[in-house]
Amino acid sequence: MAVLLLGLVMGAAAQFNCASVYGESSPTCAWEKEVKTCMDKNCQGSDDGELCRADAARTIQCCEDHYQAVTPPRDCVRAAISSAVLKCAKTSCEKSCNGAACKACSELHEEEEQPNPVILECCMEHDLTDPPEICRAAVPQPCEGLQGEAASTCRWELEVNACVRNICASCSECQNCQKDTAHINTCCDTHLHDAPQPALCKDAGQKALLP
């Protein structure tokens, strides 16, 4: 029973691999794993665990509880953008509406065919190279329409690209940094998916084997 409970608590964190992450990205990876563990614990027993783990406020709290003075992990950055977008939308709506109309204005209605224009406008104030869910309608979705392993491989590649950009955020020669084989391999391992490797991971892995 204890083993079962441990498995439930670990959840997403158990699948997060930092073993092969070194250098500057290592503490960021450790922080991200702590955040995922925190979210798994907070969402244990939730009626909708996936929705619970996607909650920006909970994520931000876990990020703050496990704060480290290093480059923030992807989950924390995305949660911060989500929170800022919702705050922006609420402020924008309150300036242009009254009463119950404000609530409808500032809410994100995922079931609507057309994305909320106020939300989209607020999203555009942020870097959307790796957008949180709330801003996905504001940018083209390269994995849209894909299913199964193809979708997982596509998401893996997006996560790797975002991870490398995160590592190279403060670089002096960013183009060279983002092509660095070690960085790419680190990000491929960190964001491992149960799917065929994306091309950039295959290429980086092969280059790493060259003498």
pLDDT digits (tens, 9 = 90+) for 127-181: 777 788 888 777 767 787 888 899 889 988 988 888 888 777 666 666 678 888 9
In a domain, 31, yes or no: no
Among 138, 161, 178, the domain boundary falls at 138
Which amino acid is located at 111 in the chain?
E
In a domain, residue 32? The reply is: no
Domain end marker among 138, 154, 170:
138
188 part of a folded domain: yes
Which among 138, 157, 190 is the end of a domain? 138
Domain identity same for 151 and 133:
no
Q: Is residue 55 part of a domain?
A: no
Residue 83 lies in a domain: yes
pLDDT at 199: 94
- pLDDT of 110: 46
Count other C-beta atoms under 10 Å from residue 162's C-beta. Answer: 18
Residues 157, 131, single domain; the answer is no
Q: Is residue 13 part of a domain?
A: no
Together in a domain, 118 and 148:
no
Q: Are residues 92 and 151 in the same domain?
A: no
Flag whether 114 is in a domain: yes
Q: Are residues 121 and 104 in the same domain?
A: yes
Q: What is the pLDDT of residues 7-45, one digit of tens each?
A: 433 455 555 567 666 666 788 888 988 999 999 998 988
Q: Is residue 82 part of a domain?
A: yes
How many structural domains are present in the chain?
2
- Let me know whether 134 and 152 are in one domain: no
Residue tagged 């849209």 (tokens): 144
**Residue 11 φ then ψ, to 5°:** 45, -125
pLDDT the model gives residue 153: 92
Cα angle: 173, vertex 174, 180; to 5 degrees:
95
Specify whether 128 is located in the same domain as 158. no
Residues 134 and 150 placed together within one structural domain of the fold: no
- 155/177 same-domain check: yes
- Claim to verify: residue 208 and residue 148 sit in the same structural domain: yes
199 and 159 fall within a common domain: yes
Could you tell me the residue range of the domain that residue 206 belongs to? 144-211
DSSP assignment string, the chain:
-HHHHHHHHHHHHHT---TT--TTHHHHHHHHHHHHHHHHHHHTT-SSHHHHHT-HHHHHHHHHHT--SSPPPHHHHHHHHHHHHHHHHHHHHHHH--THHHHHHHS--TTSSSPPHHHHHHHTTS--SS--GGGGGGS--TTTT--HHHHHHHHHHHHHHHHHHHHTTT-SSHHHHHT-HHHHHHHHHHT--SSPPPHHHHHHHHHHH--
